[in-house]
Structure 1
């Protein structure tokens, strides 16, 4: 890495898979990230293997958020603290897996990255170490903001695992085109509201959402719909006049009503579905 810094060789991609105690990895990782940013990094993947329950996830340095060339960032078990710096103007794909993020920082990333697509897996907040406080986007009850997510440029959101507090605030994502929930705690009412208010939504994917029981999906913009592993689904009503692709695969027997779909819609059903 020192050679890259000295010779000013361009670094297009870098993968860090680290299994070291916190005190040994802290200085090295930050220095490597600094060199990558200075050498115009475009794709960065960071995976921190926590060796024991007394170990810490890694706190990403502020220099990373000055990476104007960065297009792809994937992080596993890291902390994204709040920094005033935000120059990720080229960032298009952000994946957070089992990490900690300050909710204000998440808001800044979504708001200031015009190309961003977000993939979230069981994230939690740094300040209160509570998954549910993800609902306080922009500060919420803490008085630092309105509590409403402002992300006019966000077009894709993929959520896996527990981030229930964030769900009510997603109604503000007016330009969202793709929404995917995988094993997420979305309820019937929240799903209906999201589909209703997200007027630009084209693709909806629901996988393993065990909290769904009786859902009604009504949308004029939706063209692709996929429902899998709905372990507690009893009734599904579909009113989507412009739907082109529909995939339904659930083990339990479910009442399925198609009120309005295109005649040439490509539909695939699991055998246990009832008309």
Structure 2
């Protein structure tokens, strides 16, 4: 007997709980001890993708029906075995999104949920498919599962009006997630939530409700009150939200219609620490909004705004703020930040505003993602980073747009001209430069000037390329660093040493290769046909 098999069943269960579902199931073949451990394992997690492929549609061929029978037989036997042994079912997770129509399994779903509820289930997660417009009606027995601490319901599930008449409280539920669920009535949503009075984490994501014409429409409003333990709320696809919870610490909100007016009232949540707002385009966020925000919520430490309409100039002042994100917010031309305890600032967008820091922490790191046109690379990039102190620009991600590819093909002499750089002062040194650029073996004439501009402007310690398909650009850059390509030095007329003369050691790592000692040619031979293959060059200067 191996040493693992000799451990207590509780320890073996803990090991299984830490393994991916598929790997945990495979332990049954190891030994009789592991087989017995698996059959007494109180966590049951089933995904239909393990039983079906994309071509297996249960309604269309008998072969798929046999696979569906296998799934039903497997789940039923596991649950019955646990019940007959008098063992509690701690977790029951069922993901059947590959089943286009849940009708063939609906009766079994009722039985499974009933058995899990009667066996003291603590975690119940259920996801079906709504592709065929057929919904599974959640049974009322869920409301009787007093042991539940987490209830997660996904698409393909309908909650009927009968839940309005059910008064049972799920007093142990701390995490409640409702994603793409269909409710038979607007009142069912808030009634269900109110039946979970001790909820700490709540998610309501793009749920639907029948209107007076019995047709499906989006959930338009949500009023949350009486949830005194509520700490985190994630709301998406709702146009009007009112939250009354003094203990709320984290709020994420995204309206359904980005361009339509929205209402978001969380004035009573004075202990808010993290706020994330997405796709607020119907109203412009101005200086006054920031001033009132930090005044009203004195403990706010994290503010993240994505795809929001902003005024051209904003001023952010907070002694408490530690995390700030402004991602692809339109109209911005100037950002002034006075946050002495700020630790992280992420900016992303096609526009390159002037970003200034009045006061900043020694530990602050700035990460910027921007789109740069090749023809404006030299001027726009330097202007963008010149006001950011050298010590805090941690990483810069560039999406370089070669505008000449947008139009009909040009000849070589029509390529944008990149003038040589004269280095008059030491450029800022950043930790990491991430480059995503269109690469074409017919345009190698641009590669050298392009990378010279980037390295002279940023002086990065590492350079990464996320690149798939042909690897001509990365091969060129390797030859450039190794000196195989003609050197294009720009420090001959300056007292400041250029990046090339400062370069001492080059190391290469790849996301698809575990052996980091592999040579460059072998790396190219192993290159996958994937768009997310990542190569990193570490430059020691």
Task: Show the 5 A alignment for 1:227-266.
Answer: 227-230=326-329, 233-266=332-365
Name the CA distance, whole Å, in 2 between partners of 1:131 and 1:194: 29
User: Is there any run of 5+ residues in structure 1 with no aligned partner, and where?
Assistant: 139-146
1:14 and 2:111 aligned: no
Q: Name the TM-score, length of structure 1 as normaliser.
A: 0.72
> 1:206, 1:226 within 8 Å by CA — same for their partners in 2?
yes
Task: Show the 5 A alignment for 1:107-146.
Answer: 109=193, 112-114=196-198, 116-127=200-211, 129-131=216-218, 133-134=220-221
Most deviating of 121-130 and 102-111: 102-111
* Superposed displacement of residue 6, structure 1: 4.1
Task: Show the 5 A alignment for 1:55-94.
Answer: 55-56=134-135, 58-77=136-155, 78-79=157-158, 83=164, 84-85=166-167, 87-94=169-176
* Superposed displacement of residue 49, structure 1: 1.0
Name the CA distance, whole Å, in 2 between partners of 1:166 and 1:60: 31
Aligned to 2:272: 176
Name the CA distance, whole Å, in 2 between partners of 1:172 and 1:111: 22
Most deviating of 104-113 and 171-180: 104-113
Aligned to 1:34: 114
Name the CA distance, whole Å, in 1 between partners of 2:134 and 2:285: 39
- Classify 1:22/1:232 alpha carbon distance in 2 versus 1 (closer, same or farther; 3 Å): farther
Most deviating of 14-23 and 265-274: 265-274
Residues 221-265 of structure 1, C-alpha deviation per residue, up to 9 Å, x if partnerless?
A: 332223334355444444434322222233332343434543432
* 1:15 match: secondary structure: strand
Q: Name the TM-score, length of structure 2 as normaliser.
A: 0.41
Residue number among 362, 366, 374 corresponding to 1:267 in the alignment: 366
Residue number among 249, 252, 255 corresponding to 1:158 in the alignment: 252
Residues 91-141 of structure 1, C-alpha deviation per residue, up to 9 Å, x if partnerless?
A: 333333333454663476379544522344333445575446225667xxx
- Classify 1:168/1:25 alpha carbon distance in 2 versus 1 (closer, same or farther; 3 Å): same
User: Is there any run of 5+ residues in structure 2 with no aligned partner, and where?
Assistant: 1-78, 226-240, 371-380, 388-541
> 1:219, 1:240 within 8 Å by CA — same for their partners in 2?
yes
Residue number among 297, 300, 306 corresponding to 1:201 in the alignment: 300
> 1:177, 1:202 within 8 Å by CA — same for their partners in 2?
yes
* Superposed displacement of residue 11, structure 1: 1.3
Task: Show the 5 A alignment for 1:206-225.
Answer: 206-207=305-306, 209=307, 211-214=308-311, 217-225=316-324
Name the CA distance, whole Å, in 1 between partners of 2:106 and 2:280: 33
Structure ID, larger Rg: 2
- Classify 1:169/1:266 alpha carbon distance in 2 versus 1 (closer, same or farther; 3 Å): same
Name the CA distance, whole Å, in 2 between partners of 1:89 and 1:105: 17
Count matched residues.
263
* 1:69 match: secondary structure: coil
- Classify 1:236/1:99 alpha carbon distance in 2 versus 1 (closer, same or farther; 3 Å): farther
Name the CA distance, whole Å, in 2 between partners of 1:96 and 1:43: 14
Name the CA distance, whole Å, in 2 between partners of 1:107 and 1:67: 17
- Classify 1:254/1:30 alpha carbon distance in 2 versus 1 (closer, same or farther; 3 Å): farther
Superposed CA RMSD in Å reads 3.8
* Superposed displacement of residue 75, structure 1: 2.6
- Classify 1:131/1:51 alpha carbon distance in 2 versus 1 (closer, same or farther; 3 Å): closer
* 2:264 match: secondary structure: helix
Name the CA distance, whole Å, in 2 between partners of 1:70 and 1:249: 41
> 2:167, 2:195 within 8 Å by CA — same for their partners in 1?
no
Residues 154-186 of structure 1, C-alpha deviation per residue, up to 9 Å, x if partnerless?
A: 333334562778751233433333333455668
> 1:226, 1:247 within 8 Å by CA — same for their partners in 2?
yes
Greater RCO (CA < 8 Å, at least 6 residues apart):
1
